[in-house]
């Protein structure tokens, strides 16, 4: 029988704040479909990321952990790319290149930490 992990009040509060903030962001950017998609996609990725991290805590076998780690890395890389794609165009071209370089470095370091580091 699988052990049930209760959700803490802080987790519920965090998701409530995220939902309210997202609803406000969608409301204020209703005329811009790109911004609405960005908000909804980022929220979905964050929710899935938290679910995956919870499953990673519960995972028993090494195979299960590798699959969940792959999902966590993919979701974090998606979030990194989403935010870099929104921030980089607002910056001067040289700073935009630095933003993308930092995004690639962060995703690469996450891949190394999850899959190539054998500790």
What pLDDT score does 7 carry? 67
Confidence grade of residue 10 (pLDDT, cut at 50, 70, 90):
confident
DSSP string, the chain: -PPPPPPPHHHHHHHHHHHHHHHHHHHHTTT-HHHHHHHHHHHHHHHHHHHHHHHHHH--SHHHHHHHHHHHHHHHHHHHHHHHHHHGGGS-HHHHHHHHHHHHHHHHHHHIIIII---
Average pLDDT over residues 49-64: 83
The residue ranges of every structural domain in the chain are: 9-116
Supply the pTM of this predicted model.
0.81
Is the pLDDT at 2 greater than 60? The verdict is no
Average per-residue pLDDT for the chain: 88
């Amino acid at each position: 029988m699988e052990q049930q992990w209760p959700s803490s009040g802080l987790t519920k509060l965090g998701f409530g704040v995220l939902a309210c903030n997202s609803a406000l962001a969608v409301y204020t950017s209703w005329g811009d479909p790109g911004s609405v998609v960005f908000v909804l996609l980022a929220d979905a990725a964050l929710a899935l990321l938290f679910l995956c991290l919870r499953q990673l805590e519960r995972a028993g076998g090494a195979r299960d952990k590798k699959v969940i780690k792959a999902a966590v890395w993919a979701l974090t890389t998606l979030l990194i790319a989403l935010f870099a794609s929104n921030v980089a165009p607002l910056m001067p071209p040289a700073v935009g290149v630095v933003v993308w370089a930092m995004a690639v470095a962060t995703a690469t370091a996450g891949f190394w930490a999850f899959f190539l580091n054998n500790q």
